[in-house]
Amino acid sequence: MRKAGKIFGALIATLAIALLAAWVTSPDPKFNPASFEDAPLEMRLASLDEAVTLAQVQRDDDTIATLLVTALEGESVRAVDLSQATGETSADPFAVLAAASDQELRALSGLEGLASEYAMADLLPAAPGGMRHIGTGTNFPEHAEEAQSDAVFMFPKFGPATPARTSVQGRDDVLLDYEIELCMRFDRPVASLEDFDAAVKGVFLCGDFTDRSMLIRMIDPDNLDSGSGFSDAKSREDFYPAGALLVVPRDWQAFVAEERFMTFVNDQRRQDARGREMTLDFRGLAEKAFSEMGARRFLYQGEYFELTPGPQIDPEMTLMSGTAEGVIFAGPTRGDIVEGGVKWLLTAGWARGEGFIPGVIETFVENEFESGHFLQPGDVVEYRSSRLGDVRIEVVE
C-alpha cells in the first residue's frame, strides 16, 4: 500500500509539473494577426462615374443640409450644398439626391465657386438615425476561423450611430475590442429581394465595438446562431461609430467588392480587407435577414427580441457586413485552461457542482484584464477606407 501511495504521489507530482510547464509555455497573444496587402491604402474620393458621395451637416437653424462632396482635404471636405441647389428641404439624403438629375450633379460638381469647406468633425454620421440595426457575425472567412465559427449569423444591434470623429469609453470592467465594417442603408423599406434590387443603396464605413468580457460570459459556443451575448456586448451608446461619407454607387456590387478598409490602433495596422472577401454580399445578407425575421429569439438585457421590429429592413436601419480578421480577442490559451482547471480542482468546484468550463472562462477573463492588451484609455482607433473616408475614435476614461 505504501509503495502504491508513493507511485500515486509521483504521478500526481508529474502531472502537476506537466500542467505547470504547459501553463508557463503557453502563448499569450495580444491580438489576432492579420494579412496585409503590400501597397499602402490610398484614400480618395470616388469619381462621379463610380458613385455619388454625399455628406450631411446641421445648419445654425438646426435644419439638415445634404452636401455633394467634391474633394477630400484631410480633416475637411469641399462640398456643394445640394439641399440649397435643389430646393429639397428633406433631411433624408436620398430625397435630396433624387431631386437632382445626373447631369445636374455633374454640373454642380464642376462649379468650384459653389463649393465650401466643411470640417470633418462637423459632419453628421452617414448612418441612418434609427436605434435598431442588423449586426452580422463571422462573414469573413479568416475571422470565422479565428472565431471558430462555421457559419454567418445575425443579431440585432441597439444604439445610435456616432460621428466620424468621436470617442468611446474605456472602462475597467470592459474588455474593449474594435471591429471595422462596411455598412449599407436604403431609401425605402426592404422586405424582399425585389425591394433590395429596386432600392437606392448607400454604402458607408462603420465600426462595431464589443465588450468581450460580457460576450465570452454569455455566448453559446455550440450555437453562435442563437445570438446569445452579441446584442448585449455590442449595444452601447458609443459602440457604433460611422463615417461621414454616404456613397451611392452606380454599381454597388462592383464598388463594394473593390473597396478596401483597414483598422489602425495608435498607427499600427490591425485589419486589412476587401469587400469581395465577404462570404455573403449585401444582397445575400438581406436574404438571410428576411429568413431570420419574425422569431423572438435574440436575448438583449434579459428580454427576447426579433431581429427587426417589422417584416422588413426599415430605412432607419443599417445592414452591417461583419468584420475581417485581426480583432484583439482570441480564445483561452492552454495556460488559461490549465490555471482554471487547477483552481476548479483545488477549490473543490467539482464538489459544489460548479462547471469546469465556467471556471475556465472566469480565469480567462481575469487574465485578459490583467494583461492590458485590450483597448485602453489614450488609445486611438482609426478605420480607413479607399473611397468611404475614415473614422477616428479616441478611447477615453
Digit-coded pLDDT (tens) for 99-143: 999 999 999 999 888 999 999 999 999 999 999 999 999 999 988
Asked if pLDDT for residue 5 goes beyond 80, the answer is no
Q: Tens digits of per-residue pLDDT, 180-196?
A: 999 999 999 999 999 99
Which residue has better confidence, 218 or 286?
Answer: 286
Strand 165-169 with 390-396, pairing? parallel
Choice among 23-32, 38-47, 145-154, 374-383 with the minimum mean pLDDT = 23-32
Asked if pLDDT for residue 10 goes beyond 90, the answer is no
Q: What is the pLDDT of residue 311?
A: 97
Q: Tens digits of per-residue pLDDT, 56-89?
A: 999 999 999 999 999 999 899 999 999 999 999 9
CA-based nearest residue to 80, from 43, 110, 58: 110
- Would you call 36 exposed, middle or buried from its count of C-beta atoms within 10 A (0-12, 13-18, 19+)? middle
Which residue has better confidence, 341 or 332?
Answer: 332
- State phi, psi for 173 to the nearest 5 degrees: -110, 15
Amino acid at 307: L
Name the strand (E) or helix (H) holding 56: strand 51-58
For residues 315 and 132, give the distance between their C-alpha atoms in angstroms, rounded to a whole number: 11
For residues 27-42, give the mean pLDDT: 82
The band of 8, judged by pLDDT with boundaries at 50, 70 and 90, is very low
Task: Please calculate the CA angle 125-127-133 and round it to the nearest 5 degrees.
Answer: 140
Q: Which of 3.40.50.20, 1.10.3720.10, 3.50.50.60, 3.90.850.10 would CATH assign to domain 132-328+374-396?
A: 3.90.850.10
Q: What is the pLDDT of residue 151?
A: 86
Q: What is the pLDDT of residue 27?
A: 53
Q: What is the pLDDT of residue 93?
A: 98
Q: Give residue limits of the domains in the chain.
A: 51-122, 132-328+374-396
Q: What is the pLDDT of residue 48?
A: 97
For residues 298 and 231, give the distance between their C-alpha atoms in angstroms, rounded to a whole number: 8
The band of 339, judged by pLDDT with boundaries at 50, 70 and 90, is low
Name the strand (E) or helix (H) holding 94: helix 93-98
Written as nine digits, the cell of 347 is 477549490
The band of 220, judged by pLDDT with boundaries at 50, 70 and 90, is confident
For residues 344 and 341, give the distance between their C-alpha atoms in angstroms, rounded to a whole number: 5
Q: What is the pLDDT of residue 62?
A: 94
For residues 349-353, give the mean pLDDT: 56
Asked if pLDDT for residue 4 goes beyond 70, the answer is no
Other CB atoms closer than 10 Å to residue 33's CB: what's the count? 13
pTM of the model: 0.89
Q: What is the pLDDT of residue 32?
A: 78
Q: Tens digits of per-residue pLDDT, 356-394?
A: 666 677 777 888 888 888 999 999 999 999 999 999 999
Q: Are 206 and 182 within 8 A, CB to CB?
A: yes
* Helix residue ranges per DSSP H, 203-259: 212-218, 230-233, 252-258
Q: Are 186 and 313 within 8 A, CB to CB?
A: yes
Q: Tens digits of per-residue pLDDT, 288-327?
A: 999 999 999 999 999 999 999 999 999 999 999 999 999 9
